[in-house]
Structure 1
């Protein structure tokens, strides 16, 4: 299987691409297809996380944390207005690294699932 399917992701960074290539190197063709299917359904786009973070400035603080699976931080942001907007501003600055961290965790999960698929 060619690595081209990963190029269909709109905001794929070279770091994420390298990570995915390394993660799928040992998988056979069927496992790679399964990995791609699972990973593409779990992966988040950094632009979407940016939009969710911006919603924190109009009263919906913490949505980005809920979307990234950080429920505790989402609740904290919600009840503290994004930690008095400081946390929201920090998330705005580092939205790409937050998204990359989440996507790496989803790649680990997808890899484990792909290994068990065959």
Structure 2
């Protein structure tokens, strides 16, 4: 049975949905529900990351990097004003990619946790 991730995970976008369907295709229903619960608690939405990028223009640069677990880059952005705003501008343009890469990592971690049960 193919899971309908659109109903299980809010604000799920196309590329992320395809990725999730690919990695969970062999999971039984019970483990799939466990995976969805774990993944849902860890994932970030693209609008959250975009908001973090916008905060960089208001003087709190690097928030988006902290949100995706890139603490070193977050510190660098904070002390260099988002690498003189160039990094913040690039992150604003590429916020969907930044979010998708983070969510892929969280999906892999969640899958590893579910598989170890």
Distance 2:28 2:114 in 1: 9
What are the ranges of 5 or more consecutive residues in structure 2 without an aligned counterpart?
none
Deviation string 1:51-79 (CA, Å, 9 cap, x unpaired) is 11000011100000001000000000000
TM normalised by structure 1 equals 0.93
**Which position in structure 2 is the counterpart of 1:33?**
33
1:13 equivalent in structure 2: 13
The equivalent residue for 1:112 is: 112
Structure-to-structure mapping, 1:1-118, within 5 angstroms = 3-117=3-117
Q: Give distance in 1, aligned partners of 2:5 and 2:16.
A: 13
The runs of at least 4 consecutive aligned structure 1 residues that moved more than 6 Å come to none
Deviation track 1:61-106 (CA, whole Å, cap 9, x = no partner) reads 0000001000000000000000000000000000000000000000
* 1:1-28 deviation per Cα after TM superposition (whole angstroms, max 9, x unaligned): 6522444544322111111011111111
C-alpha RMSD of the superposition? 1.4
| Aligned pairs, number | 117
Work out which structure has the larger RCO, using CA pairs closer than 8 Å and 6 or more positions apart in sequence: 1
Q: Secondary structure at the match of 1:40?
A: helix
Q: TM-score, length-normalised on structure 2? A: 0.94
- Partners of 2:7 and 2:30 in 1: how far apart? 19
